[in-house]
Structure 1
């Protein structure tokens, strides 16, 4: 197990490579497992994880066997690949990795640039596991962009584009039209696409792409008429996500029949860790992976309701992301603790302090290792919003899991 763990760590640390040719070749050598099950494919700057989780909840409530592939994971690697809500264990990941190793080595030896990445390996494992388990339907989230994402080897029944905003600009482009073009790359000829609330520049790109491919397009900003379904997830933006999920299942109802009362009930029973999730009452701790400007815009309505004594624990990967979230957030709190997290792209204290130089409240600096001590110092009536980088959220959840003695029964290799 240690060898497999080290191998996966090394792959992940080598980062991503943009392009789809490796994945096409990889899948070809695996006899294209992605075509062995019906699928729904989702892209978007924000919201795609929520919509994936809602779709999973709806279809499972109807008794379908559902595969779910999302990223990144918070605590356990197997969170990325689930069948009917059950995480893939590390032992299963290890077995798949061992099976794929000969192909991996062959591709690497033939051309080092054709070596599959960590994300491509995990995508292939998801496809193989869903084929093995004979899922009725798979819900697949893109990792980055869409057009060149490793998941875009699918032939889905339907595509969903949730939002288009400025994120990963170094890879997707720094203009909204460029980013929209990448997201719209998941649209398939003749297959329907469901589209969320987009700014006009992005909207036009997606409409043009759908028209070019003769793909029926459903623009929810026009179709809902302001009537949005209810969901248990916090924020009106989650009601928009629920509308996307509901529209998607309605469009597929001839293949996968659904009942409206069951849809409504499923949307009220969505479990999505790390999204405005209260993990403690005394002190009150809320974790929320809001890591970019578009997410900050959506979260304003939640921040406005924070109590006057609320404080923030914050970390970020990327200067622009830090500024886009901190600038509006700090209007609603009196105290902030800035974390340097153990990630290569993490913002340093120096960078974070520059982003809040005009903040009049109290500022503390902390390292990831300080979490237990800082938690111990909180009083029962403390109210802490932990936000920004998903890596900080993961550290807090991992700490809380251990502190509450609710550690997963799986082996330690699952926690990384």
Structure 2
């Protein structure tokens, strides 16, 4: 199978999910059958399973890099991707190659087609196949550990078939309410579905409603809990364009000073969460090793400064809580209090909450449509911002919207903020490119 054919096959599986299959129908029974037909790769890979609403991708990435710094061959499964499917599967910070991905898709395809014919659960979804490909790859390459980011929720997510040595829950907030529930307690309960008896949970700082539910579930299941807020501390001494400098302390492990190039106090919190997992794996606190690896951290799309003149920042924030964190980071690290905003969202996002979070931040707002079948029409998205009195312009094509937004930012002498969806990335592909990415990958993305 050629690489392009493999990509077309994978993206063709998305048609199944466009039907908006109810969350309760995305049963783990189908994923378990899929794994069994593939030889149960999930049963032999030491795994860290990471759930949460905010920061789970960044935490997973940092943990992946930290394991590598201590000499462990580490796999990372993350989602979604910005420019190429290959971003979802990597080992030692190297994306799976086009050739390897095509080979694995060729191996998995007959299994998917057989399940469509024979299984009472039907064929695996696009995401389930992606998880299967990652686990097969990690098994073949004999990784020492795999960091696996949960897709949606936790309890019924395809990644929950893994047998983790440690589970992680990053901050829980409101997102995917139409699927996970309308209260923080309901959402936290779904996230806590990844907990296992006698498997330690690293719990990032939470709002009390979410924390209470997770701790109750941990007690019920017999999962030991280490709370980052109790076990770790950081004193930030510098914030700026190059990131943060802080002193950290992890109880019973060690302390030191670190420079973190990822912008935001929330990234310091994510880093502490990752350190606590490293401690649980019995690895030593070697500050020189930590400094060396953190200096090379690069996680595109997270308060990502694309240009300095004019200042342009791209961020994948797509719920109210993430936008609140984003605005605080722009203020504290880049001294940005006003900007031209280029925004685009998918259906189901809390645009009303996002508009409330933004309030008076945009001087001018351009609303576009991400390159995704479930893009929210500009007429709908813009309605949430018009009531605030902010000048709003509607440009459905994200490429034209980018040109217009850059022009307005130059005219007004203001920074440009691009946010609202991972699927705005393609409009900035020549700046965002962080690996050698084939043009055909981006066009098929």
TM-score of the pair, normalised by structure 1: 0.91
Match of 1:383 in 2: 415
Out of 10, 13, 24, the position equivalent to 1:11 is 13
Residue 214 of structure 1 pairs with residue 242 of structure 2: no
Q: Distance in 2 between matches of 1:96 and 1:376?
A: 41
Q: Determine if contact 2:368/2:401 at 8 Å carries over to the other structure.
A: no
Report if the CA contact (8 A) 2:171-2:206 is conserved. Answer: yes
How do 1:289-300 and structure 2 match up within 5 A? Answer: 289-300=316-327
Alpha-carbon distance between aligned partners in 2 of 1:124 and 1:54, rounded to the nearest angstrom? 23
Secondary structure in structure 2 of the residue aligned to 1:116:
coil
Aligned residue number for residue 302 of structure 1: 329
Partner residue, 2:239: none
Deviation sequence 1:264-292 (CA, Å, 0-9, x none): 44334321100011111222211011100
| Inter-partner Cα distance in structure 1 for 2:261 and 2:189 | 32
Structure of greater relative contact order (alpha carbons < 8 Å, 6+ residues apart): 1
Aligned to 2:386: 357
Q: 1:396-415 residue pairs with structure 2 within 5 A?
A: 396-400=427-431, 408=436, 410=438, 412-413=440-441
Which 5+ residue runs of structure 1 have no aligned equivalent? none
Q: Corresponding residue for 1:374?
A: 404
Q: How does 1:97-108 map to 2 (within 5 A)?
A: 97-108=105-116
Separation in 2 of the partners of 1:375 and 1:311?
7
Tell me the distance in 2 between the aligned counterparts of 1:158 and 1:111: 32
Greater shift in the superposed pair: 73-82 or 95-104: 95-104
What does residue 341 of structure 1 align with? Answer: 370
1:318-337 to 2 correspondences below 5 Å: 318=347, 320-337=349-366
Measured against aligned partners, the alpha-carbon deviations of 1:350-400 in whole angstroms (never above 9, x if no partner) come to 2122101233343222122414643673639552111111111x1233143
Query: What is the RMSD computed on CA atoms of the aligned residues?
Result: 2.4
2:104 alignment partner, one of 79, 83, 96: 96
What SS class does the counterpart of residue 164 from structure 2 fall into? Answer: coil
How far apart in 2 are the matches of 1:264 and 1:43?
A: 26
Which runs of 5 or more residues in structure 2 are unaligned?
Answer: 236-246, 249-257
Closer, same or farther in 2 for the Cα pair 1:264/1:376, shift >3 Å?
A: closer
Worse overlay, 96-105 or 256-265: 256-265
Q: Secondary structure at the match of 1:272?
A: coil
- 1:401 positional shift: 5.4
2:263 aligns with 234
Q: 1:127 aligns with which of 103, 126, 135?
A: 135
* Distance in 1 separating the partners of 2:213 and 2:338: 44
Match in the other structure for 2:81: 73
Instruction: Tell whether the 8 Å contact from 2:58 to 2:299 is kept in structure 1 after alignment.
Output: yes
Residues 303-354 of structure 1: per-residue CA shift (max 9 Å, x gap):
4355466211111113542222222224222111111233232222221221
Determine the C-alpha separation between the residues in 2 that align with 1:409 and 1:184: 36
The question of whether the paired residues in 2 share the 8 Å contact of 1:77 and 1:90 is answered with no
Number of matched pairs: 410
Classify the secondary structure of the residue corresponding to 2:76. strand
Equivalent residue, structure 2, for 1:136: 144
Alignment partner, residue 278 of structure 2:
249
Tell me, yes or no, if the aligned pair for 2:426 and 2:442 is still in contact at 8 Å.
no
Distance in 2, matches of 1:373 and 1:301, equals 26
Moved more, 109-118 or 36-45: 109-118
> Do the aligned residues in 1 keep the contact of 2:79 with 2:151 (CA within 8 Å)?
yes
* Residues 176, 348 of structure 2: 8 Å contact kept: no
Change (3 A) 1:31 1:84: same
Residue 409 of structure 1 and its aligned partner are, at CA, apart by 5.6
Of 13, 16, 25, which aligns to 2:33?
25
C-alpha distance in structure 1 between counterparts of 2:371 and 2:364, whole Å? 23
Report if the CA contact (8 A) 2:312-2:417 is conserved: yes
Question: Is residue 42–residue 141 contact of structure 1 (8 Å, CA) maintained in 2?
Answer: yes
Counterpart contact for 1:79–1:87, Cα < 8 Å? yes
Q: Provide the secondary structure at the position in 2 that maps to 1:312.
A: strand
Q: Which residue in the other structure is 1:50 paired with?
A: 58
